[in-house]
Every structure is written in C-alpha cells, then in structure tokens.
Amino acid sequence: MTRLLVTGAGGMLGRDLVTVLEARPDLKVTAATRADLDITDRAAVQAAVAGHDVVINAAAWTNVDAAETDEAAATAINGDAVANLAAACATGGTRLIQVSTDYVLAGDADTPYPEDAPTAPVNAYGRGKLVGEQAVARLLPDTGYVVRTAWLYGAHGPNFVATMLRLATQREHLDVVDDQHGQPTWSHALAERLVALADAALAGDAPPGVYHGTCAGQTTWYGLARATFTLAGLDPERIRPTTSDRYPRPAPRPAYSVLRHDRWAAVGLPPLPDWHSALVDAFRSPTPPAPWKVA
C-alpha cells in the first residue's frame, strides 16, 4: 500500500488534501498538522518522512505582510524547512510535492507566465518561497515537484471569497481593486490535482520540476468579488472598482499573476478548470463548513 504524508494538514489546502486522500482505500495517509510536526526541526522531519512514498508539503508561512518585517522567520518555514523535507526525501527515495506560489515571479508581464519563466520575487514572502523551490530542484532533481498556486480560497481557513461575504453583512458597498490580475483557485480542486500528480509521479509518468496549479482564465479581485456576490444571490453592483494605491500594504503585490499550464500535458492531465466554473462548483459543494455560503 502506498504511504503518503501531508504536512500542513490543518490548513485550508491541507484539510482538502486529507479529504481527497482518505477517500482512496489504496493509500495510507499520515496527516501532520503544525502541532504534529515542526518542519523546521530537521531530526523530526527525517523521522516523519521515513517509510513514506510521497510527501505533499502544504505547510507554509502565509502571512505575506508579516514576512516583510520578519523575513528570516518566514524563510525558515517557506525555504529552509523545505530543504529539510527535500533532504529527508532524498535519503529514503521519497517523492516530494512542494506547494509554491506565483509570488516567486515579478508580476510585471502582460502575457501568462510559462513554468520556466525567470523568477524575480518582489517581496519577502516570494523570496522565501523561492528558497524552497531551489532546495527541491537542488536536492531532488529526479523526484522533486514544485506546484505554484495563487489566489486560493476554500472551505477551511481565511480567504478572499469568505471575506467578501462577511463584509457584505457589514457594509452596503465594497471597494475592491481592479488592477491586479490573477487566477482564483479552489483549494479542493487543487488538492485533487496534487493527488493526481502524486499518482503520476509514483507511476513514473510525471517529469520532475515546476507545474502551475492555478485555475484557467483570469480576472481581477474586483471581478472575483462580483462573481462571488452573484453566486451568493447578492447584488454585484454593490462592488465598486478601485486601484491598489488606495490600499497600501507592507508587502508589494504583483500586478499580474496569470500562469500558463503547459506542463500538465506531459503528465497526461488537463489543467485545472476555468476559475469561474470552479467557483460555481465551490458554491455547490456540500462540504461543511463552507464560509462562502450565505442564507
């Protein structure tokens, strides 16, 4: 029986991964939350990885703005700890799937980024995640996988879709930026694709390297907010467009986070669905508690 370890199993993506994996009777799943496993502890990581065929690392420092003031701490989790996981996987011949981010890219393009686009992060969070990507490439050249995602939302944990619906109960109008472009991605759909990649990796059908795990198409935060309101039965005209300079943040955000998905063809898998159809599926999902659902 295939043994698979999920780190960061208490987070939004991690919980969806466990849900998808536990529906598979052919897999033995170890779900490690932050309380179960400190991935910055090299010895603990070695012990946890031993005996597993695949590790999917969903553990991360996700507070982008806080990373600007404590870059060393963010990089310890998003970069150095990934090296711990990669080294442990190398020792035991274990495959590693590392979840990364569009923030390793400059975000100044006007056409979708291919998987081999030059990296040039514009903030501390992106720099730390790039350290993690580089560790996977260096230590696991034949069995390491990096899957970049972006604009994640899901049933577990804070996210933009849930925030919009919460604010809808507090304000008549919401001003949302319309000059950042990206690909909203449902965490459950990404979890399914990561598990499919793990299957392909074990079968020898997935070339190692970088994959882009975002939904197809593109929109802005303003477009996503309007779609969210529409699906929730609210008036989308309550959403008003604005610009990023109205909301200065400690960490600069990339203006363009649209990714290409060409490498999935090498695995024989289609890219993730269009962002809007995935959002519709999320609203229809029976999985509780769905924070974007409203009465």
**Which active-site residues does the annotation give?**
125
State how far the Cα of 80 lies from the Cα of 76, in Å rounded to an integer: 5
State how far the Cα of 110 lies from the Cα of 149, in Å rounded to an integer: 18
Residue owning tokens 């809007």: 276
Kind of pairing between the strands at 219-220 and 181-182: antiparallel
State how far the Cα of 91 lies from the Cα of 208, in Å rounded to an integer: 17
State how far the Cα of 256 lies from the Cα of 110, in Å rounded to an integer: 7
Token pair for 220: 């802005």
Q: Angle between the 42-49 and 81-92 helix axes, to the nearest 10 degrees?
A: 40
Beta-bridged to residue 145, according to DSSP, are: 97, 209
Sign of CA dihedral 153, 154, 159, 162: positive
Q: What is the dihedral of CA 79, 80, 82, 86, to 10 degrees?
A: 130
3-state class (DSSP) for residue 209? strand
